[in-house]
């Protein structure tokens, strides 16, 4: 009986830890409309190929209007978007700095 109780306790603790979102620091949040490949690679689960896909999509199609537009980029689905959402933001096009 004690083993079952211990097992249940471990499962509850593990389940709570698995669902907890990692803390997001302000410096970790990147803007999809201005982030470089280097900025994007710093995000969890984003490697060089996915970072390049984001930058290429932005160059071809223009600025992202909302974070959900990331699903338009090949390789990004709803699940990936859900994991990345705390780290992403989108600055409206009219508020972006002019290209130099």
Which band of pLDDT confidence, cut at 50, 70 and 90, is reported for residue 95?
low
Question: What are the counts of helices (DSSP H) followed by strands (DSSP E) for the chain?
Answer: 4, 2
Q: What is the pTM of this model?
A: 0.68
Determine the average pLDDT of the residues in 70-99.
86
Q: What is the pLDDT of residue 92?
A: 81
Q: Is the pLDDT of residue 15 over 70?
A: no
More confident residue, 26 or 62: 62
68 occurs within a structural domain? yes
11 occurs within a structural domain? no
Q: Is the pLDDT of residue 25 over 80?
A: no
4 occurs within a structural domain? no
Q: For the chain, how many structural domains are there in total?
A: 1
9 occurs within a structural domain? no
More confident residue, 9 or 31: 31
49 occurs within a structural domain? yes
Q: Domain residues for 61?
A: 25-95
We report the CATH number of the domain holding residue 52 as: 1.10.150.320
10 occurs within a structural domain? no
């Amino acid at each position: 009986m004690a083993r079952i109780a211990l097992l249940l306790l471990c499962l509850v603790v593990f389940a709570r830890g698995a669902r907890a979102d990692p803390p997001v620091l302000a410096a970790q949040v990147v803007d999809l409309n201005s982030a470089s490949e280097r900025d994007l690679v710093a995000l969890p689960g984003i490697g060089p190929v996915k970072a390049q896909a984001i930058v290429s999509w932005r160059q071809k199609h223009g600025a992202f209007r909302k974070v959900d537009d990331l699903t338009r980029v090949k390789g990004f689905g709803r699940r990936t978007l859900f994991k990345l959402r705390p780290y992403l933001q989108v600055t409206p096009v009219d508020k972006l700095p002019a290209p130099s």
